[in-house]
Structure 1
Amino acid sequence: MSTVCIDCRYIGPRPSGIGEVVRNLIACLPGMAPDLRFVLLRNPLCGTRLSTAPNVVEWDVAAPANGPRTMWGLSRVVDFTDVDLFHATFNIMPARLPVPCVTTIHDIMWLTNPAWCRTGPRGWIERHFYSHGIRRAIRSSRAIAAVSRASADAIAAYAPHAADRTHVTLSGVSVRFRPVEPDQNVLTSLGLRPDRPFILTVGQYAPYKNHEGALRGFAKAFSHRPEIDLVLVQRMGKATHRLLELAKSLGIADRVQLVPTVSEQVLLSLYAMAKALLHPSFCEGFGNPIAEAMACGCPVVTSNRSAMPEVTGGASLLAAPDDPAAIARALTMIVDDEKAAACLRRTGLERAAQLQWNAFAEANLAIYRSILADRS
């Protein structure tokens, strides 16, 4: 029986897009491949077992997922003696692995557009760390799993020699994201007014997420319509004050509501009650919030570049992320044209239903089997 080791340490107490991807991968794989043995590297802070499948064992690894011991010393932390294949699930490939490696690359912004990632002194350190690990993944992985065609194309453009080793494993959206009855008590609990319609933006505050562009597009659309708010759900940090200063300069400070990370149940209610999700990123490997919003029946306005047109599949309004007027036109259409909004809700639900985690897991399993067959 061949053994596949999957790094699951992104699954932890804090919500994570990559953690969601890995969680759904390991939920599907063991049942699909009872002839394989899976070793899951687990974050000790996870708190619970990741799988109860009989062909799964779990090893706690205290080393941080994105740290020096993972990048340069994982083979000293983990015993690979009986492992036939390793799956690195979060962009970087550890050094000196004694077995073939599949690396999931979500995006290559650290290589192509590092200014879109974290800035400042910490950003400088992370730029060198991640670019080192991603370059190794592109150069040395036996196979690369890209979570969208857009990411696969970006990898091929950056490193043509990696194109034939790059496979598209399109991410999915969990059935947990679904239409729910609006609960206005949720808004009250967040300090929001239930009687005020709102546009929703969800995601960490990083340059590539373009939250400044969301503010500018919202202001362009609704500066003279004081009854509409913009709600941003994000992990608020030291730089959040910049958004508040921009909102003030745009004359919308009293209508921009910042909400810290919320529970999934609260997020479902926000998707249910929002007029639209506004997601004007400059780049996404996939873009979990747009898939989640569609699955909840929330109309989506997103960017006309990177993976976002691919993920929404014609079920959203697209706008250039650096064009506030285009963003404003899309938002205004949804708010003012109920037929257009209803069409987006319907087509969004249909598109989300196509984004199946089973298909994602099957695509990864096909990569595993191909590599394992070459070793036999």
Structure 2
Amino acid sequence: MIEGGGMGRRTICIDCRYIGPRPSGIAETVRALVDFVPELAPDLDFLLLRSPAHRGALSKAVNVREVVVPSAANGPATMWWLPRVVDLSAVSLFHATFNIMPAGLKAPCVTTIHDLMWLTEPQLCSARLAGRAQALFHGHGIRRALRKSAAIVTVSEASRREIIAHSPPAARQTFVTMSGVSPEFRPVPRNILRLAELGVRPDRRFVLTVGQYAPYKNHEGALRAFACAFADRPEIDLVLVQRMGARGERLLRLAKELGIRGRVRLLQPVSRADLVQLYSSASALLHPSFCEGFGNPLAEAMACGCPVVTSNVSAMPEVTGGAALLAPPDDFPKLAEALRKAVDDKAQAAAMREAGLARAATLNWRSFAADTLAVYRGVLAS
């Protein structure tokens, strides 16, 4: 049995099962909570639910205890009977960190809702045949969170506005805890040997796109915008770093249709150090998403001094804070125009690098954790 601390101390349970070998924006937010909240709240105890895919302890803090939960984060056990899987009887507050609120919780729940895409535009979340079942599953958990959470936290004002528009009664208990960016993301010198090892030609310039291959990321649009900008510029490549599996062949077929097949590099997820190298070496990040709760590649690229071209919708303008060039995600000529400015205009690129570094410096994970802790304390006080 996992219990809280001594008499008079309260225990907050944080579901950390998104932390594992697969990179994700949600995992980054949870990692920040693990790294900073126990230190910021020595008067509280913390119970962390850990995935078996994560090897070793999540935290060394003295006010932290951990329990491995074999059930999948986004699975039936989490949705309908988590309190039967793990003993939560000593928990004073539960933090559901990945959009869905479990059923049967006795303690008040803070739910992080990163975005509402599974409710409002599920076709943007998954192109697979199982996408409809996934939409029903996630939609159920999000609706419960909107109805029953003691507080909702989200990672941008854009997401907060979307939550309130969808569920006006949630306005009073919805708070923004703006995501951050790790200090590991910083400008580094171009390493031509490492770029070559990654499959990137170090003698050529390249535009970078980063993120999972999901419809909302608009990677097909990235290819079309790149082709529109640089079809006649054989010295510039497009490099995509993504979770994609076999479906990446669809992008290669499109690249062939657009006449840029030999200039498109598809990389599987890389180490953080290699991602920093790619951001630092790229001529620009192209991130034409249709929707984002936050968009970690935007902050990471800016922190590495990489000029950013992104969409003028959802959270992208808010996150980049005036440092990026913006265009509609489905307007390929306008995206191409912005991309050419970022790549070819040296003065424009230098200004974007400076503005991006300044903006990224304001996106701090410790501040994110402190804001989340303030929500915890508000719920506990009420």
TM norm structure 2: 0.97
- CA shift for structure 1 position 135: 0.8
Q: Could you tell me which of 267, 270, 275 is aligned with 1:267?
A: 275
1:162 aligns with 2:170: yes
2: CA distance between counterparts of 1:365 and 1:256? Answer: 44
1:76 aligns with 2:84: yes
2: CA distance between counterparts of 1:239 and 1:53? Answer: 41
Q: Could you tell me which of 315, 336, 349 is aligned with 1:341?
A: 349
- CA shift for structure 1 position 81: 1.4
1:45 counterpart SS class = coil
2: CA distance between counterparts of 1:175 and 1:336? Answer: 28
Partner of 2:254: 246
Q: Could you tell me which of 234, 246, 267 is aligned with 2:242?
A: 234
Q: Could you tell me which of 131, 150, 157 is aligned with 1:142?
A: 150
How many pairs does the alignment contain?
374
Q: How does 1:289-300 map to 2 (within 5 A)?
A: 289-300=297-308
2:129 counterpart SS class = helix
- CA shift for structure 1 position 190: 1.9
Question: Residues 209-256 of structure 1, C-alpha deviation per residue, up to 9 Å, x if partnerless?
Answer: 000110111011001111110000111223222111111111111111
- CA shift for structure 1 position 351: 0.4
Question: Residues 154-196 of structure 1, C-alpha deviation per residue, up to 9 Å, x if partnerless?
Answer: 0000111111111001000011111111111122112221111
Partner of 1:276: 284
Question: Residues 321-344 of structure 1, C-alpha deviation per residue, up to 9 Å, x if partnerless?
Answer: 000011101110011111110111
1:318 counterpart SS class = strand
Partner of 1:204: 212
Aligned residue identity for 2:167? A
Structure 1 unaligned spans of 5+: none
Q: Could you tell me which of 367, 374, 377 is aligned with 1:366?
A: 374
2: CA distance between counterparts of 1:119 and 1:295? Answer: 32
2: CA distance between counterparts of 1:193 and 1:120? Answer: 33
**Identity rate, percent:** 63
1:144 counterpart SS class = strand
1:354 counterpart SS class = coil
2:130 counterpart SS class = helix
- CA shift for structure 1 position 372: 0.6
2: CA distance between counterparts of 1:40 and 1:307? Answer: 29
1:27 aligns with 2:70: no
The answer to which of 59-68 and 113-122 deviates more is 113-122
1:47 counterpart SS class = coil
2: CA distance between counterparts of 1:190 and 1:65? Answer: 31
Partner of 2:314: 306
Partner of 2:230: 222
2: CA distance between counterparts of 1:373 and 1:165? Answer: 14
Q: Could you tell me which of 90, 99, 113 is aligned with 2:98?
A: 90
The answer to which of 342-351 and 183-192 deviates more is 183-192
1: CA distance between counterparts of 2:22 and 2:258? Answer: 33
Question: Residues 39-58 of structure 1, C-alpha deviation per residue, up to 9 Å, x if partnerless?
Answer: 10111220021111111111
1: CA distance between counterparts of 2:127 and 2:232? Answer: 34
4+ aligned runs moved over 3 Å, structure 1: none
Aligned residue identity for 1:260? Q
- CA shift for structure 1 position 80: 1.5
Q: Could you tell me which of 203, 213, 222 is aligned with 1:195?
A: 203
Question: Residues 56-90 of structure 1, C-alpha deviation per residue, up to 9 Å, x if partnerless?
Answer: 11111111101000100101012111110000000
TM norm structure 1: 0.98
1: CA distance between counterparts of 2:172 and 2:261? Answer: 50
- Indicate the RMSD between aligned Cα atoms, in angstroms: 0.8
1:225 counterpart SS class = coil
The answer to which of 234-243 and 298-307 deviates more is 234-243
1:36 aligns with 2:44: yes
2:245 counterpart SS class = coil
2:347 counterpart SS class = helix
